[in-house]
Amino acid sequence: MGAKGLTLPDDAARRMRESIKRYVAEELDQDVGDLKAANLLEFVMKEIAPTIYNRAIADAQAYFQGRVADLEGVCHEAEFAYWTPGSAEGGGRGR
């Protein structure tokens, strides 16, 4: 995202406009043209999409923070593990 807002690939924007037109026709019993569908999509992208985007980012941050917090437990290896406790006299691995 950034200062310019969310952007869509051309194909995705076209498919969204078509979906808007179909939704309005089937659910609201009205026909809308390309311009009205494009205007509605622009409104949704500027007014509604940032809230959804921000929620998704917050969810992703929480997920990764949870994974990072658990990193030591998951990825920790014991240090100086060659000598087991109680085997200091005589050397080598503990028996």
Model confidence at 21: pLDDT above 90:
yes
Residue 87 in any domain: the answer is: no
DSSP annotation of 32 reads -
Round the average pLDDT of the chain to a whole number and report it: 87
Residue 33 in any domain: the answer is: yes
Say how far apart CA 81 and CA 16 lie, in whole Å.
59
Residue 82 in any domain: the answer is: no
Model confidence at 17: pLDDT above 80:
yes
Residue 35 in any domain: the answer is: yes
Contact by Cβ (8 Å): 40, 16: no
Model confidence at 10: pLDDT above 50:
yes
Q: Domain tally for the chain?
A: 1
Q: What is the pTM of this model?
A: 0.66
Residue 27 in any domain: the answer is: yes
Residue 4 in any domain: the answer is: no
What residues make up the domain containing 67?
10-75
pLDDT by residue (tens digit) across 49-91? 999 999 999 999 999 998 888 777 777 788 888 887 766 555 5
Model confidence at 35: pLDDT above 80:
yes
Residue 89 in any domain: the answer is: no
